[in-house]
Every structure is written in structure tokens, then in C-alpha cells.
Amino acid sequence: MIFLILLLLFLTSCVSGTFVVNVTQTFYQAEENQNITLEWTFSTRRDTNFSSISTICHLFNKKRIAVLFELREGVETRVSQDPEFTVRLQWDKDGLTEGRLTFHVSRLRTNDSGFYVCDIHTSDGSSSKNCWLNVTAAEELELQRPSESPQAETGVWVTVGVLAAVQVLFVSMACIVLIRYKRRTHNAAMHTGNLSEKQTIRTFISLSESEHEVRLSNI
């Protein structure tokens, strides 16, 4: 019950004047051990400096309420920060005066899931905004993978079938080319043989005629 009350309080943004806080994404989905970037934006002026900005960010879920990050007048403090984020969280100082509060959280855990709320205070006012992060456990991913394996196996067999069909087609074409080549070679040989035989007959006839002429002259 306390969690729901706190959640409702932080879901309602408190805006002072024209100062507005927004989030780049309202929902983040990630896997265990991955890294993620969370970002808030807020309205600023040209003369905005570090000393005029203060913020405190919390993580709310069913198991805990943890301080993600705290900045007091431009100075980071780790006194109240949850130990789980001390090493795993980094933030970009360069974008702060431009109206961007960016966190890089590494090696995500399942208990990092929940609502992330940042209250930002400047000389122009104060406001808050929240986003939701859902971290999927590695065990759940392993259970989801077998359902995808039949599709992968089907794809492999389709590829093998296509390669086999291409190979059969290639062999068939090679056989056809070889048969045509043998036929042409055989026909050429037959044609050459016929020409040789005709030439021999003509030579024999010529020799016979010459011999006959010689005999006539002797008589």
C-alpha cells in the first residue's frame, strides 16, 4: 500500500512556473548484464550553471526504494546513494547545463526493474518525471530460445536443399555438354574418314588410268 501511494505521488509531476522536466523514453526494455542509458531533459537558460542545479533520483519497485543519484548545487554526493549503483552508474556532466541529465547503468540486474524518478531543482523552479525499466532474466531468455530453433533448423535444411538442386543442375548441364561434344567429335571423325576414303579411290583411279596409258603406248 505504501508503495502504491509513493508511486502515485511521483507519477504526478509537480511543476513550478514554466520549468518542465521530461524523459527521453517512458519505457525501457533490457536484458540481464546489458548496459542502458536513461535520460531526463529540463528547461534551462543561457546563464544556467552547475551551482544552480540540484537533483535526486530514486528507484521504486516492490522490493526496495533506492537512491540512484543525488546532486546538491552542482556537487555530486554519494552519502545516500545505493551501494549497488556506486560503481555501475556514470553520468554526463557536460550536458547538465544544457538541460540533459544522462545516466549510464552497466551490468543490469533483475532487481533494477522499476520506476526511476528524478526531481530536478533549478533557480527557475522544480519538477519531476519518471520512466519504467524492465530487465529480463537470463533464465527466461534461455527458455525462449528453443521455440526459435525449429525455424533456424528449417532454414538450414532449405539452404541445403537449394545447394543440392544447384549441384544436380550443374552436373546435368555438364553431361549434356559432354554428350554434344562427343557427337560432334564422332561426326567430324566420320566426315574425315569419308574424305580420306574418297581421296584414296580417286588416287587409285588416277594410277590405273596412267598405267593403262603406258601399256597402250608400248603396243
Plot region of 12 (φ>0 → left; ψ -120 to 50 → alpha; else → beta):
beta
pLDDT digits (tens, 9 = 90+) for 134-173: 999 987 655 555 554 555 555 655 554 555 554 545 445 5
The confidence score (pLDDT) of residue 176 equals 56
Q: How many CB atoms lie within 10 A of CB 71?
A: 21
Give the mean model confidence (pLDDT) for residues 84-104. Answer: 94
Spatial CA neighbour of 50 closest among 79, 73, 29:
73
Q: CB neighbours (10 Å) of residue 55? A: 22
Task: Find the helix or strand (DSSP H, E) in which 159 lies.
Answer: helix 149-218
Q: What does the DSSP 8-state code read for residue 178?
A: H
Tell me the pLDDT tens digit for each residue of 31-80. 999 999 999 999 988 778 889 999 999 999 998 999 999 999 999 999 99
- Give residue 152's pLDDT: 53
Q: How far apart are CA 42 and CA 20, in angstroms?
A: 6
Domain boundaries in the chain? 2-144, 155-209
Given the candidates 3.40.50.10090, 2.30.30.50, 3.40.190.80, 2.60.40.10, the CATH classification of the domain at 2-144 is 2.60.40.10
Percent of the chain with pLDDT over 70: 56
Cβ-contact 18, 125 below 8 angstroms: yes
Q: What is the pLDDT of residue 200?
A: 47
126 CB contacts (<8 Å, ≥6 apart)? Answer: 14, 16, 19, 119, 120
Cell of 95: 550536458
